[in-house]
Each structure stands twice: as structure tokens, then as C-alpha cells.
Amino acid sequence: MTDTDLSPGLILIHGNQAESLHDLLVTWVKRHPLAPLETEVVLVQKAASRSGSSSRSPPMRRGEDAMR
């Protein structure tokens, strides 16, 4: 299977080193660019704060929705 033969699906990645996860995401996006008008969603869970409040960030998007 080559880099361009990827099937749609779900990839779960877990780690506790934000820098390593960032590097992995950047490398993945460079190796697997989106086709024109294709949308990709990246959901990042934030660590819980000590105050107990849970604020959610919207998912990051690449593609046509990112331009809105």
C-alpha cells in the first residue's frame, strides 16, 4: 500500500507529550495531503484543569470548511 492508497477511516493516537503528538500530526498532514474540497476533522482532547471546569475547543478542520 502506498501513501496515496489510504482508505477513509478513524485513527486514534494517544500520548502525553504534546510536542511529539504535534510533530506526528504535521508529518501526517504533509505525507497525506487532502484532495481539493476534501474535509478532514482532527479532534484534540484537552487535559482536564484542576478547577474542574471543562471547556471544549471546536475540532480543527482542513478543507473547504476551514475557510468559513
C-beta of residue 29 within 8 angstroms of C-beta of residue 62: yes
pLDDT at 21 over 70: yes
Share of the chain above pLDDT 70, in %: 60
Each residue of 22-49: pLDDT tens digit?
999 899 889 988 888 888 888 887 766 6
Quote the pLDDT of residue 16. 85
* First-last CA distance in the chain: 34
Quote the pLDDT of residue 33. 87
Provide the pLDDT confidence category of residue 53 given band limits of 50, 70 and 90: low
The pTM (predicted TM-score) of the whole model is: 0.54
